[in-house]
Chains A and B, each alone.
Chain A
Amino acid sequence: MSAKETGGTALLQPSPAKSGGKFSWRLEYDSSRIRSPWWTPILSVILALLLCAVFIAANGMSPITVYEKMFHGAFGTAYGFTETMVKAIPLLLCGLGIAVAYRISIWNIGAEGQLTVGAMAATAVTIYFPDLPTFWALSLMLVFGFAAGAFWGLLTAVPRTHFGVNELITSLMLNYVALLALDYVVFGPWKDPKGFNFPGSPMFTAAQSLPVLGSTRLHIGLLFGLIAVAVYYLMIRFTKWGYELRLIGANPTAARYAGIHIKRHIIIVMLISGGLAGIAGMAEVSGVTHKLMQGISPGYGYTAIIVAWLAKLNPMGLIVTSILFGGLIVGGYSVQTIGLPSSISEMLQGSILFFLIAGDMIHRFRIRRGA
């Protein structure tokens, strides 16, 4: 068709130079959109549930049954809900510790090991000072738990500040060291002679156990967690130290020029971070298991990483996400009754994290029309 035949209508058609341009789309990155919307964590949880539903269905189970079972197990009954809260306590304490470190971009993934040594130190108190009265026993266990966790954090902080070793690798290696040390004491020197050869320390006495709420297993460690969250909020918000942390987090170069001693902050932050995880370990042995045994933590330290990230380091968010993930762990146990492994909850956690980090970035892209 020639231009003559079409006559004036040719003017309405896109010129060859622009053709394609009108219908081409491209993604444009807008780095100014740093704050992600509040609904990304919620959406990522939903998408993760959908993704894992595919794997569950592929294995010949009904995802709805499995999720129903998990939800009912975690939140459906009074017993389930207190169990969820019991799991939320270590997640809250470890997650808070991780959040403090993330404030200045220190990636502490060693909460698992820090929790383990905290539990070991608390148990050491019961073994070497067996006859202390309640107050002194519990206080000493708390101090020992904190100190042990903080020391484990220091073992990560010093290689980072003085030798330039990536804290991710150090903290993770120390997790394995802590777990092996735990195995050693529960199979070796601290093994209960009356324990029918079962690997574990002797049972704690009533004076060495944290008080519980009524007839449930929910123990006073919940208060430790809530107090720690409140202190964290006030420190970050109202103290000079908190201001310096926020400054380092926002712009480390500017912070250094402003004369802030970053190395010192890294060490302090790792002491706090590890110490909080240590308290979580103390609360776990003294409040829940009442003895030291293998597998004291079903991966609380790793789950707490997602708890902290999902909460966007926000104190209130930490409380909500740790309860959610406590529920996920309890729900994971409850699917074992229908023959599924509890690791289903780990799978869900990993996929929540995938969708979360993707969601944080996707909204920074804009779809643009035209060239």
Chain B
Amino acid sequence: MDFTTQLLIAAISAGTPLLLATLGGILNERAGIIQLGAEGLMLMGAVTTCIIYIRTGNLLLALLATVAVTAVLGLLHSFLCVTLRANQTMSGLAMTLFGSGLSAYLGKPISGIPLPGTSPKLHLPWLEPVPVIGPIFSHMDYLTWFSLLLVVVLHLLIHRTSWGLHLRSVGDNPATADVMGIRVQLIRYSYVICGAALIGLAGADMVLAYAPTWNEGLTAGRGWIAVGLVIFARWNPLRALFCAYFFGALDSLGFRIQLLGSAIPSYFLKMIPYIVTILVLMYLGYRNRNKPSGTPEALGVPYIREQRF
């Protein structure tokens, strides 16, 4: 395998949790609710997967528990933001703090214990002989395939179906959607819950495919990078795919340069994704300064029936 293929494989492996979390964020924000709790949700997802997988040895059960736990946290976020109309930024920050505290607390007894297995892989022998595609796609794990499928499904859902139209209208103009008979609160609740569950799966993927044991704070800010990726991707699932893999590549490039015995200290290489996030956001902000950014127009604004803004 040449360097490029290896890098691509590493980029997909490191990019999949980012992709899942970004897709979750897109669902949240398309419905008009800011989700800054991604970091906490990913940690909760990761720790739930670890605990259930280590205790029961059943991967499917672990994933179901992860979805359930993070969906409950999503329910909490949507209750605060949709029903109580609380400050969405603060709710997200609280989610991140609470999630990192609770995950460290729950994960303490299993800290450092290796998981019974990694994410199972879908083996496609007929694909193996194909030059570049073969090595990449013939041994991908199920969660990665799931994330790829999800990109397509969400893209079609958001842009090609009436459900997606409802979702977009709730995120852009809830008052009009309400007048049209769309149930704004219900839609916001359901997408925030689904989004939170996806971010939880991102945490599960991190421990299953990337770091096979639980460590306190193991996401190391990837939840926040996903929050930034939602903006890069302009709330679009297809773009999210490329953005997430680009960051996955940056992430693993740093690691690879280190392996090659470079003179640059690894700390600086680890800074690359964070600095690039800021620079790309600045570039996008500069380039799109006179253009609509694609932000859902009612993002962060609680909807109150019969009230003008």
Contacts and interface: CB of A to CB of B under 8 A. Distances in A.
Given A31-B304, A163-B282, A169 B227 contact: yes
B93 A354 contact: no
A361 B278 CA distance: 33
Nearest to A365: B84
B95 interface: yes
Contacts of A29: 85, 304, 307
B102 A159 contact: no
B101 A348 contact: yes
Interface size band for A: 35 or more
Interface string B80-97: 100011110111011111
A122 B297 CA distance: 44
B278 A165 contact: yes
Interface string A161-181: 001111011101111110011
B224 interface: yes
Nearest to B108: A341
Given A159-B278, A159-B285, A173-B275, A306 B97 contact: yes
Contacts of B282: 159, 163, 165
Nearest to B37: A350
A346 interface: yes
A177 B276 CA distance: 11
A349 interface: yes
Given A165-B282, A165-B285, A357 B90 contact: yes
A343 B304 CA distance: 37
B80 A354 contact: yes
B36 interface: yes
B270 to A, nearest CB: 5
B80 A358 contact: yes
A314 interface: no
A133 B265 CA distance: 35
A159 B289 CA distance: 12
A353 B270 CA distance: 31
B296 interface: no
A178 to B, nearest CB: 10
B101 A176 contact: no
A168 B231 CA distance: 13
A76 to B, nearest CB: 23
A346 B97 contact: yes
B210 interface: no
B99 A350 contact: yes
B80 A163 contact: no
A173 B279 CA distance: 11
A31 B270 CA distance: 46
B64 interface: no
B216 to A, nearest CB: 7
Interface of A: 29, 31, 55, 59, 107, 109, 155, 159, 163-166, 168-170, 172-177, 180-181, 183-184, 187-188, 302, 305-306, 309, 340-341, 343-351, 353-354, 357-358, 360-362, 365
